Structure 1
Amino acid sequence: MNYSTTDNALGQALLIAVLVVPALGALIVALLPAGTDRGARLVATGFAAVTLVLTALLALPFRQDFGWVTYGPGPPMIPWIDVDVPWVPALGIDFHLGVDAISYPLVVLTGLLTALCCAYTVWKVPGGGRGRTLAALLLVLEVGILGTFLAFDLVLFFVFFEVVLLPMYAVIAGWGGPDRRRAARKFVLYTLFGSVLLLLGVFTVVIAAGTGDLTALAGGAGMSRTVQYTAFALFAVAFAVKAPLWPLHTWLPDAHTEAPTVGSVILAGVLLKMGTYGLIRVGVGVAPLGASWAAPVLGTLAVIAIIVGSLVCLRQTELKRLIAYSSVGHMGFVLLGIATLTVTGLQAALIGNVAHGIITGLLFFLAGAIKDRAHSGDLAELGGLRETAPRLAGLLGFAAIASLGLPGLAGFWGEAFAVVASVQRGGPLWTTLAVLAAVGGALTAAYFLRLLRRVTHGPATSAVTGFAAISRPEWLAWSPLILLALAVGLVPALVLAATSVPVSALTGALP
């Protein structure tokens, strides 16, 4: 259980390096001459690959009795590795980074998707100097997202949460579709609204508790019921914007439709998870009384998101927009699991987060490949894909059935056990929510099967003729996600093995 001094120092160095390496990479890539555009993107990919290795190593060398079943942080809410140094001592604010079983899978997923997206830019993004800038922005996004998942101080969490805003705006506005600037502005306006509420919540907690340290704030830190109610309400709305939760979701379809492929992959794969992760780590962890008070409302809104997202998907005629609205429904299942405030529900949310990142990241890669070849995302113009590009059609079918929650694939566990957790919660409300969520799951199957019928079946349209074969760079980007969708579906312990201690700590503090 105890770390040696050497191991602890090495762990802290790794933790710092996870943020320093992509930040340094972004700086170097941005400073390289425009004439070295493709080389700069290769450099960015190298930095992203090193960061991925570092994220994976965060779990490995620091326990003598390491094992996927037995390793854990020890005392509840204490990270495996942490770095804690004074930042603003007068206000009790520390530069406190840490990693535990709640954040670790998302940290690795962020490293993986960023590396795949940087590699994708090397071959699939036009040059002219702009590809270098896009790769640098991806590394800056990685710093912000990783910092959010690693922050163990509320103020530091807020800072990293905000780092993501401008680079994602630039990615959408600079490399997106015809209506990219309007979509980027809408993304910024919604996000700024959430940021103001998050900042108010942070101030409420720090002033009331006298600290922003999340380990000290676990269980409410003796804050009054009124303070916890107020803080959780502010946090819940702020994170609902980022997740996004209905009815604060309308920025998402526009952003996805106009964003470039790599922007959509990062946005759906990990950026949305900042909202649901924040709701677990900060909302439930810091204000358990507020979480218990708001749980019925949160659960109701989550189920509305599932149903509304599915019904809208049944009417969508544009490929990326359909996948974007599917994220509203899938994140509804994650939020339903959180709202139950049970061990089963929170674990369903954790694996649902990771599964959605893997599968929807793959779906947006595939959607980007189809749109690049067909020059259209209109479902009516994409029919008969299996006749002209059977491998691409087969991969789209695999990703779709993974996303609809077929048992044996990653999407099954989060959705199924969010419903189970709602049933276990008991009472008329939660039973009704479970039934409606199950209906939403059936609608999810309906709209993905409709998607496959419209795109892959029937006679080939003129838009899907003459498709180029799947290239090696595309296989490189897609293969890890395909394998992970299978691996997590068959062995969910890859995500959940070490979560019982921190999740039990969270639920143990609830009234």
Structure 2
Amino acid sequence: MNFPILSSLILLPTIGSLFLFFSKDKPNNNQTIKYVALFTSIVNFLISIYLWYQFDPTTSDFQFVEDRQWIKGFINYKVGIDGISILFIVLTTFITPLCILSVNNTVKNKLRDFLIAILIMESFMIGVFCALDLVIFYLFFEAGLIPMFLIIGIWGGPRRVYSAFKFFLYTLLGSVLMLVAIISIYWINGTTDVVKLYELGIDAKYQNLLWLAFFSSFAVKTPMWPVHTWLPDAHVEAPTAGSVLLAAILLKMAGYGFIRFSLGLFPEASETFTPLIYTLSVIAIIFTSLIALMQEDMKKLIAYSSVAHMGFVTLGIFTIQQQGIEGSIIQMISHGLVSAALFLCVGVVYDRMHSRLISTYGGIVTIVPKYAVLFMIFTLAALGLPGTSGFIGEFLILMGAFKDNFLVAVLASLGVILGAAYMLWLYKRVVFGKLINEELKKLTDLNKSEIVILISLAIPTLFFGFYPEPLMNTIEVSVKNLIDMYNLNIN
């Protein structure tokens, strides 16, 4: 295609945000502002669907590549996609309009500025998944911190400033070392072009230090144990749309980074540090699942469950097995859908009762039956019930893990049991039981926009649970090529 479709995907949300910036920020103008943001994000989603339709899954080559000189002799603006990155782009463009739809009850002031932050953030997140130059990747990767910092710090809860700074400092400090590593790679190889670096390879004597530098950034953003403590605070204080973007997309940027850079650029170092990843992943799966069991705040419970689920993702990536890596990608897509839905479900009752405490609820199944049914679907998907997208990812990851390390796979399997325990216990306490709190009788069931949002997430969650073939076909060849390239460099 001669048309720069990837640049269009990256720039369109920013152009939409400029329209909002020059519009009048008045309460009676809020509906128009929201329609402009929603229209922009839906058009971007349709473009990404067209991109997926035009994508050729039979080749592992990067497609729709755009390569333009930016800083002569140093940095090129180079973007392109393969079977791994296309799914994350579609996920990003799918989640963003749902976030914009959800702001009706959650954002009471400065709606225009909030939607500008959402749209700019979409541009940066798409840029991360398209970037084929290390410097361009770093710029998009770090730029995404700014709108999320503002979303938490301005529109968050009572401890929003503390949580925003904790989020920003954790993720920024981890990324400083990655910047040093990128400069070092340019000094060693004379280029930051990812495709050229795949071909040239990186000298084995530098790989361990470079791998650790990239790991310092990806581990915080994933987040891996023990650098995960910023996530529960950020989720609890963030507005619903902020939590959705954070859980559904932002955490996936680091998982994608592990696949694209840690395995692709530093295969020998990845082989060396696989036991470290296995250890941290298993601890994250078991330890944070136990912490989730003890939570009294619904948002904190789902936040800790995200750490456990991302533990499965990092475990699957470093099995270097076809099933393991494919399972990790599908798990990230599934978690993007399910975690977004769970945070939205919490947002629904919080908007009505202004409480996230589990003890506030109980016995609401007869009062809000539509909510109870949809909440149940996402609860079952989160624990990996067969027939939901959550099962496909976890099953493939455990298959890959059993092939590579039996003990690690057995220990990771405990996370499936613990996941069922904390998710079912959450659902039982919130939805079933006796109606003790009389205030709950005032609860109203889902409105039209909430039904549209949650059903939009339920459909792919169930569809890919029964028929994951479109996802598997898209990623299969690219994953196989990654593993072949990895094994070739190791041997």
Q: What TM bracket, shorter-length normalisation?
A: over 0.9
Q: Give the counterpart of 1:471 among 432, 436, 447.
A: 447
Q: 1:124 aligns with which of 80, 105, 113?
A: 105
Unaligned runs of 5+ in 2: none
Partner in structure 2 of residue 435 of structure 1: 410
Match of 2:190 in 1: 210
Aligned with 1:40 (options 9, 33, 47): 33
Map Cα deviations across residues 225-244 of structure 1 (whole Å, 9 max, x no partner): 12111111111221010010
Matches within 5 A, 1:22-421: 22-35=13-26, 36-61=29-54, 71-72=56-57, 74=59, 76=60, 78-91=61-74, 93-121=75-103, 123-128=104-109, 130-218=110-198, 221-421=200-400
Q: 2:424 aligns with which of 449, 470, 476?
A: 449
Return closer, same or farther for 1:264/1:463 CA change in 2, 3 Å cut-off.
farther
Normalised to the residue count of structure 2, the TM-score between the two structures is 0.96
CA contact (8 A) 1:384 1:459 kept: yes
Q: Which amino acid aligns with 1:499?
A: I
Cα RMSD after superposing both structures: 1.3
Q: Taking structure 1 as the reference length, what is the TM-score of the superposition?
A: 0.92
CA distance in 1, matches of 2:187, 2:391: 42
Q: Is residue 374–residue 454 contact of structure 2 (8 Å, CA) maintained in 1?
A: no
Give distance in 2, aligned partners of 1:211 and 1:49: 37
Q: Would the aligned equivalents of 1:73 and 1:80 in 2 still touch at CA under 8 Å?
A: no
Q: Closer, same or farther in 2 for the Cα pair 1:304/1:236, shift >3 Å?
A: same
Q: Which amino acid aligns with 2:8?
A: A
Query: Partner letter of residue 344 of structure 1?
Result: Q
Q: What is the CA–CA distance in structure 1 between the aligned matches of 2:232 and 2:108, rounded to whole Å? A: 27
Deviation at 1:154, TM superposition (A): 0.6
Cα shift at 1:169: 0.6
Which whole-Å CA distance do the structure 1 matches of 2:248 and 2:376 have between them?
Answer: 19
Match of 1:483 among 437, 446, 459: 459
CA distance in 1, matches of 2:364, 2:157: 23
- Provide, for residues 403-439 of structure 1, a one-character-per-residue CA deviation record: whole Å limited to 9, x for no partner: 00001101011112211111111xxxx2111001101
Cα distance in 2, alignment partners of residues 222 and 322 from structure 1: 42
Is 2:474 the counterpart of 1:498? yes
Query: Unpaired runs of 5+ in structure 1?
Result: 1-7, 63-70
Alpha-carbon deviation of 1:465? 2.1
Post-superposition Cα deviations, 1:441-465, rounded to whole Å, max 9, x if no partner, equal 1000011111012111111123422
CA shift for structure 1 position 202: 1.4
Alpha-carbon offset, residue 245 of structure 1: 0.5
- 1:212 Cα offset (Å): 1.1
Among all aligned residue pairs of Structure 1 and Structure 2, give the percentage whose two residues are the same amino acid: 36
* Mapped contact 1:374–1:382 kept (Cα < 8 A): no
- The alignment partner of 2:77 has SS state of strand
**How much does 1:73 deviate?**
6.1
CA contact (8 A) 2:175 2:214 kept: no
Alpha-carbon spacing, 1:462–1:217, altered in 2? closer, same or farther (3 Å): farther
Report the CA distance between 1:498 and its aligned residue. Answer: 2.4
- Secondary structure of 1:249's counterpart equals coil
8 Å Cα contact 1:335/1:349 also seen in 2: yes
More displaced, 36-45 or 309-318?
36-45
